[in-house]
């Protein structure tokens, strides 16, 4: 007997998920999929990431071979034109006619395009598919201003896309008096509007568009109040319309406002035809989120395999980050008094709005809204869904416990076993805990593989992590901080062991304290420890150095390297500038000024590196250690030598400090800054250490960080003189080098340090551990053993030999390293 | 013949040119073993495998190399990417005679 045939119409996220779910339940079906787009199913939820450098491939939900491997016949670029219900056949645009036993409609939705005069003009787009995005991208290249029609969730996503594409003036036009009217209340909406306006978005509410003005191409929007707004392009995001035309044509029941009517088994008015996702309407409602779509897919898969599962509506709670602003809405967000009690928190300074609705007896949470800070979302949603009894002061849920001990997230473990943690993949707390207990899962990656939790929208990942850690802790499993599978020690423990036993190379360390043959994690850690202790030339142990340290340069796209000579304090003579120019020209290098006040030269072939450095060293340059977890630069402002506001000579002090700590290896890179007055032009407070001149001396700040999680440096000492400043820096840096985990910047190290800044101050300034003299001595040893690594290399024929791409043809360069011209220079050819 | 034994650093790799092909050779001194693979990392199409760090993975001590670009690690025995099964690199047999390294290219 042949297998029953299931034809899936639509290869979007839900259509794809249906195939996955059905395969997981049974292999007894012949599956045929039709998609109208040229691509196989991709992640539409994270579509805007396409503009942040994600490729269409990155967004794909699977590989093409997944379909063939699972015996699915996939017809792309071929929409279904007609369903013949009496003969149970479908007819595609390309003329394919096939018979089905069951039909699953997953046709999704299309953008609703209002009937406005001029809507057909060039420069007007919808935001739905990768093809739409490509059209938008092409147009945005020549556009300065753009507008999005629609201030809902998708409209704001589209506005973010325009900003990402470099549109400097982006407008959002909303017909309603507030943004995201479906998800948040008006107070939350005005807070969101304020935050988004601060970020440079122009928001127009209560605006109804009357016409699109322009000859062939859009050049302005005309509104009902007769005002106009000049724009170069328009993206329409005024809502979605379910794609029900095929179903209508086949005589299936559709809703009054569109959508294919389904029952709780997702069956349409024809029992052999199902509809799932955004094209389906259940009890008058269209579910335009991914999680309910996946749920519907599973219900059909269950029904076809005679399992019992039904759809009873779905929680439409959602949390997202819109242009960097957290927005969340959960449970019953809009219920008002007298049906409930409402607790509000509003901070217009930080742009935070929180609202929770609780039952009149104060026992249960009904729903709420979070703007600006949605960290509590997962826990609040769990509290609603599981009807967890509220604490006596429910405001603690959104304000945190005040006065006294902070809550330590113990609430997660108190959730009931059937609490749904990952709603996209329907994974419960019990499933996650058992994966830890019985499956031995200890990481989020392992959990994704084992249970699929966290693989959908990704919103539950923090909660899953906490659950893994909580379960392991509850089992008495000690979560030991170890470097990798080869060393059962933390970096700090290994540092002390290597020091006490005077171990000088990697193999000795591995033989004494490790197992196996090492890896790309522990090798650089040990290399850094050896260097921080003995300060020998690192290329003597080239094969344990990380990618950049191995060749004392930064590996770039295409396999060429960039070269950064040290320019202490950012001070450089005209003669040296000329040398850099000559070298860059001779070797065809792209030059750019770095953020740390020096010059980076890109595109150097491996075999050219020693030649380039020979010339640089001849001119008096030294390695800048831009490739190392080491001191990078000490940035300075010009200070009292020229500046009319300067209090002290910040450049001279910056050079002195940079020369003192150059070459020293640490757990991560170290950056410094010295400012000559409180105006802080050197931005020293964003550095690992920052020094700012005062009337009486210097203020020393430590543990600042730029990067993805910026953090201001904190004050360690005030009004100190040069010697004291260097003494404290010696102690601070050495203490950090000896105790931090690998790849941990000073800011993160401080955040994890028990006792925080007051403890650190005690150790460094008050010498509470009595380590001061020792730390200074250890630092002095490193200072005394400084050497320019590049000088060592060019003077050693054996080391120089390693700088060849082909060991059997050392003169030849890698032919695959290719460049493209850009603004009179070159750039690496794209991946 | 590909190169001499001392052309390849101990516990590290070098790249050799064979016509238009690039082959990474690894001198796994610690295990007294030699390996050869393609030099191209299939993840971002970079000629860089030879510059990667070698090591071992798991209880079975599977020898591996990690690409210096994004640390995708490949088994030196099978060429399979550890953790991402769809990426695979070619491996070649290696023979050492009289201080010379030979790679078997089919």
Residue A679: domain span: 554-784
CATH number, domain at A197? 3.50.50.60
Each residue of B54-63: pLDDT tens digit? 999 988 899 9
Out of B47, B51, B73, name the one closest to residue A550 (CB): B51
Band the pLDDT of A468: cuts 50, 70, 90: confident
The answer to whether residue A321 sits within a structural domain is no
Task: Give the residue among A181, A230, A225 at the shortest CA–CA distance from A202.
Answer: A230
In angstroms, the CA A714 to CA A750 distance is 10
**pLDDT tens across A732-786, in order?**
999 999 999 988 999 989 987 877 888 899 999 989 888 999 999 999 999 999 9
Chain B residues lying within 8 Å of A809, measured CB to CB: 16-17
Instruction: Give the whole-angstrom CA distance, residue A794 versus residue A552.
Output: 12
Is the pTM above the cut of 0.95? Answer: no
Same domain, A672 and A686: yes
**Residue A4 DSSP symbol:** P
Q: Is the same domain home to A178 and A278?
A: no
For chain B, what is the mean pLDDT?
92
- pLDDT for position A402: 54
A754 vs A630, more confident: A630
Do residue B10 and residue A543 have CB atoms under 8 angstroms apart?
yes
> In percent, how much of chain A has pLDDT > 90?
61
The last residue of a domain, from among A220, A238, A256: A238
Q: B50: closest CA among B4, B80, B8?
A: B8
Which pairing describes strands A220-223 and A209-213: parallel, antiparallel, or unpaired? antiparallel
As a whole number of angstroms, the distance between CA A368 and CA A394 comes to: 13
Q: Which one, of A681, A677, A650, lies nearest residue A568 by Cα? A: A650
**Tell me, what's the pLDDT at A603?**
96
Q: Does any domain span residue A80?
A: yes
Q: Taking 70 as the threshold, does the pLDDT of residue A478 lie above it? A: no
Burial of A830 (0-12, 13-18, 19+ CB in 10 A): exposed
Which of A507, A518, A557 has its CB closest to that of B55?
A518
Identify whether residues A189 and A300 lie together within a single domain: no
List pLDDT tens digits, range A361-372: 888 899 999 998
User: How big is the A-B interface in CB pairs under 8 Å?
Assistant: 95
Residue A599 lies in a domain: yes
Q: Where are the domains of chain B?
A: 3-103
Among A89-98, A419-428, A736-745, which is the least confidently predicted range?
A419-428
B72 in A contact zone (CB under 8 Å): no
pLDDT band at A401 (very low <50, low <70, confident <90, very high): low
Bridge partners, residue A159, by sequence: none
Sign of the dihedral defined by the CA atoms of residues A516, A519, A525, A529, in that order:
positive
- Asked whether residue A633 carries a pLDDT value surpassing 90, the answer given is yes
Q: Is the peptide bond before A338 cis (omega within 30 degrees of 0)?
A: yes
DSSP code of residue A479: -
A354-381: b or e for each residue (b if 16 or more CB lie within 10 Å)?
A: bbbbbeeeeebbbbbbbbbbbebbbbbb
Residue A714 located in a structural domain:
yes
Instruction: List, in sequence order, every beta strand (DSSP E) within chain B.
Output: 3-4, 12-18, 21-28, 33-38, 40-41, 46-47, 53-57, 62-66, 73-75, 91-92, 94-97, 100-103
The DSSP element (H or E) to which A415 belongs, if any, is none
Query: Which of A101-105, A246-250, A477-481, A514-518 is the least confident region?
Result: A477-481
| Alpha-helix runs per DSSP H in A345-390 | 377-385
Q: Are A347 and A341 in contact (CB under 8 A)?
A: no
pLDDT category at A466 given cuts 50, 70, 90 is: confident
Q: How many domains does chain A have?
A: 3
d(CA B21, CA B17): 6
Please give the pLDDT value at position A411: 62
Q: Considering A256, A283, A304, which residue would you say is the last residue of a domain?
A: A304
- Residue that is last in its domain, among A762, A784, A806: A784
Same domain assignment for residues A218 and A298: no
Mutation target vs A (from B11, B13, B18, B70; most A CBs, 10 A cutoff): B11
Q: Are A674 and A657 in contact (CB under 8 A)?
A: yes
Residue A414 covered by a domain? no
Altogether, the residues listed in chain A come to a count of: 831
Does A586 map to a domain? yes
pLDDT: which is higher, A541 or A166: A541
CATH number of the domain to which A738 belongs: 3.30.413.10
Q: What is the tens place of the pLDDT at every residue in A334-346?
A: 888 888 889 888 8
Is A250 in the same domain as A106?
A: yes
**Averaged confidence pLDDT in chain A:** 90
Asked whether residue A86 falls in the same domain as residue A141, the answer is no
Per the domain annotation, does A337 fall within a domain?
Answer: no
* Closest by Cβ to B14, choosing from A544, A807, A831: A807
3-state helix/strand/coil string of A164-205: HCCCCEEEEECCCCCCCCCCCCHHHHHHHHHHHHHCCEEEEC
Q: Residue A1's pLDDT is what?
A: 53
pLDDT of A732: 97
How far is Cα A184 from Cα A178, in angstroms, rounded to an integer? 9
ipTM of model: 0.95
Closest approach of chain A CAs to the CA of B84, in angstroms?
12
Does the structure show a pLDDT above 80 at A143? yes
Residues 10-69 of B with CB under 8 A from A: 10-12, 14-17, 22, 25, 28, 30-31, 40, 44-48, 51-58, 61, 63-64, 66, 68-69
For the ranges A443-452, B22-31, B34-43, B85-94, the lowest mean pLDDT is seen at A443-452
Position A587 confidence tier, pLDDT thresholds 50, 70, 90: very high
Beta carbons within 8 Å of A371's beta carbon, 6+ residues apart: A184, A188, A191, A192, A195, A325, A326, A327, A328, A351, A352, A353, A354
Query: Cβ–Cβ of A550/B16 closer than 8 Å?
Result: no
- Write the CA distances from A159 to A85, A156, A320, integer angstroms: 43, 5, 15
pLDDT exceeds 60 at position B66: yes
Q: Using DSSP, state whether A107 is helix, strand or coil.
A: coil
Say yes or no to pLDDT of A108 above 60. yes
pLDDT digits (tens, 9 = 90+) for A29-59: 999 999 999 999 998 877 777 776 777 888 8
The answer to whether A626 and A634 are in contact (CB under 8 A) is: no
**CA A377 – CA A756 distance, rounded (Å):** 28
Q: What is the mean pLDDT of residues A537-556?
A: 94
Specify whether A213 is located in the same domain as A297.
no
- Return left, alpha or beta for A108; rule: phi > 0 is left, psi -120 to 50 is alpha, else beta: left
B97, β-bridge pairs: B100
- Residue A33 near residue A11 (C-beta atoms within 8 A): yes
Distance from CA of B100 to the nearest CA of A (A): 12
Residue with tokens 């003169």: A811
What residues in chain A have their Cβ under 8 A from chain B's Cβ atoms? 63, 485-486, 507, 516-520, 522-524, 542-544, 546-547, 550-551, 555, 557-559, 802, 805-809, 812, 814, 816-817, 831
Least trusted range by pLDDT, from A255-264, A495-504, B81-90: B81-90
A819: in domain: no
Topology of the domain comprising B3-103: Rieske Iron-sulfur Protein (2.102.10)
**Do A198 and A55 share a domain, yes or no?**
no
Average pLDDT over residues A575-600: 96
pLDDT score of A409 more than 70: no
Q: A148-157, A412-421, A648-657, A788-797 — which is least confidently predicted?
A: A412-421
* A517, A546, A809 member nearest B56 (Cβ): A517
């Amino acid at each position: 007997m042949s297998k029953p045939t299931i034809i899936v119409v639509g290869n979007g996220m839900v259509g794809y998920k249906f195939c996955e779910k059905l395969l997981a339940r049974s292999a007894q079906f012949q599956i045929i999929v039709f998609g109208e787009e040229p691509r196989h199913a991709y992640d539409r939820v994270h579509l805007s990431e396409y503009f942040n450098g994600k490729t269409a491939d990155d967004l794909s939900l699977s590989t093409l071979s997944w379909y063939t491997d699972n015996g699915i016949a996939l017809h792309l670029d071929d929409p279904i034109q007609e369903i013949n219900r009496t003969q149970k056949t479908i007819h595609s645009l390309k003329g394919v006619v096939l018979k089905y036993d069951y039909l699953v409609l997953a046709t999704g939705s299309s953008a609703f395009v209002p009937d406005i005069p001029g809507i057909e003009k060039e420069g007007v787009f919808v935001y739905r598919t990768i093809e739409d995005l490509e059209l938008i991208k092409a147009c945005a290249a020549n556009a300065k201003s753009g507008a999005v029609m629609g201030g809902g969730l998708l409209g704001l996503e589209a506005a973010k896309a325009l900003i990402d594409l470099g549109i400097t003036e982006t407008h959002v036009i909303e017909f309603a008096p507030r943004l995201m009217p479906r998800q948040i209340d008006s107070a939350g909406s005005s807070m969101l509007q304020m935050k988004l306006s601060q970020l440079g978005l122009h928001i127009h509410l209560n605006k109804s568009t009357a016409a699109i003005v322009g000859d062939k191409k859009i050049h302005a929007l005309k509104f009902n109040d007769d005002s106009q707004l000049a724009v170069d392009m328009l993206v329409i995001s005024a809502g979605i319309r379910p794609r029900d035309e095929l179903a209508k044509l086949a005589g299936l029941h559709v809703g009054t406002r569109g959508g294919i009517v389904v029952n709780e088994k997702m069956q349409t008015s024809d029992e052999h035809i199902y509809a799932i996702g955004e094209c389906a309407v259940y009890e008058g409602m269209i579910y335009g989120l991914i999680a309910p779509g996946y749920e519907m897919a599973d219900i059909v898969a269950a029904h076809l395999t005679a399992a019992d599962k039904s759809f009873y509506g779905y929680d439409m709670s959602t949390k997202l980050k819109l242009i960097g602003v957290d927005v969340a809405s959960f449970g019953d967000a809009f219920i008002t008094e007298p049906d409930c009690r409402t607790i509000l928190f509003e901070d217009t300074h930080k742009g935070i709005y929180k609202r929770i609705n609780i039952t009149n007896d104060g026992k249960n949470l009904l729903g709420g809204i979070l703007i600006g800070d949605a960290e509590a979302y997962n826990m609040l949603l769990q509290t609603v869904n599981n009807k967890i009894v509220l604490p006596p002061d429910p405001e603690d849920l959104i304000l945190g416990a005040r006065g006294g001990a902070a809550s330590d997230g113990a609430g997660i473990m108190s959730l009931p076993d059937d609490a749904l943690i990952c709603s996209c993949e329907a994974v419960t707390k019990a499933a996650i805990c058992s994966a830890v207990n019985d499956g031995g899962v200890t990481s989020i990656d392992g959990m994704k593989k084992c249970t699929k939790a966290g693989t959908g929208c990704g919103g539950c990942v923090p909660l899953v992590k906490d659950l893994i850690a909580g379960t392991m802790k509850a089992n008495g499993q000690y979560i030991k901080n170890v470097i990798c599978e080869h060393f059962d020690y933390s970096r700090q423990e290994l540092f002390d062991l290597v020091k006490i036993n005077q171990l000088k190379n990697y193999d000795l360390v591995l033989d004494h304290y490790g197992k196996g043959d090492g890896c790309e994690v522990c090798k650089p850690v040990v290399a850094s420890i050896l260097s921080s202790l003995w300060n020998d030339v690192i290329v003597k142990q080239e094969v344990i150095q990380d990618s950049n340290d191995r060749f004392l340069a930064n590996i770039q796209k295409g396999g060429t390297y960039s070269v950064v000579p040290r320019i202490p304090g950012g001070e450089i003579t005209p003669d040296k500038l000329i040398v850099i120019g000559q070298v860059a020209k001779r070797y065809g290098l792209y030059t750019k000024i770095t953020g740390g006040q020096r010059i980076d030269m890109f595109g150097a072939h491996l075999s050219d590196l020693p030649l380039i450095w020979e010339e640089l060293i001849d001119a008096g340059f030294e390695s800048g250690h831009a490739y190392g977890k080491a001191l990078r630069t000490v940035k300075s402002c010009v200070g009292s030598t020229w500046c009319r506001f300067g209090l002290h000579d910040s450049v001279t002090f910056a050079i002195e400090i940079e020369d003192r700590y150059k070459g020293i290896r640490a757990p991560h890179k170290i950056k410094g800054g010295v400012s000559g007055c409180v105006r802080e032009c050197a931005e020293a407070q964003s550095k690992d250490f920052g020094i700012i001149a005062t009337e009486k001396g210097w203020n020393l700040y430590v543990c600042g960080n730029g990067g993805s999680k910026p953090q201001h440096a904190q004050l360690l000492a005030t009004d100190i003189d040069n010697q004291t400043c260097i003494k404290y820096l010696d102690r601070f840096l050495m203490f950090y080098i000896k105790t931090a985990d690998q790849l941990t910047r000073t800011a993160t190290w401080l955040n994890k340090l028990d006792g925080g800044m007051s403890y650190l101050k005690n150790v460094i300034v008050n010498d509470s551990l009595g380590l001061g003299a020792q730390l200074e001595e250890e630092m002095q040893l490193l200072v005394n053993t400084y050497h320019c690594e590049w000088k060592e290399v060019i003077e050693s024929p054996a080391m120089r030999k390693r700088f060849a791409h082909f060991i059997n043809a050392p003169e030849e360069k890698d032919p695959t390293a290719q460049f493209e011209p850009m603004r009179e220079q070159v750039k690496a050819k794209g991946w | 013949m590909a190169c001499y034994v001392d052309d390849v650093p101990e516990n590290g790799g070098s790249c050799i040119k064979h016509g238009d092909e690039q082959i990474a050779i690894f001198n796994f001194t610690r295990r007294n073993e030699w390996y050869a693979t393609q030099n191209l990392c299939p993840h971002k199409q970079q000629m860089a495998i030879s510059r990667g760090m070698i090591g071992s993975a798991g209880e079975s001590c599977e020898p591996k190399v990690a690409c210096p670009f994004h640390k995708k690690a490949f088994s030196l025995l099978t060429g399979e990417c550890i953790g991402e099964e769809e990426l695979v690199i070619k491996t070649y047999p290696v023979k050492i005679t009289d201080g010379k390294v030979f790679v078997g290219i089919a």
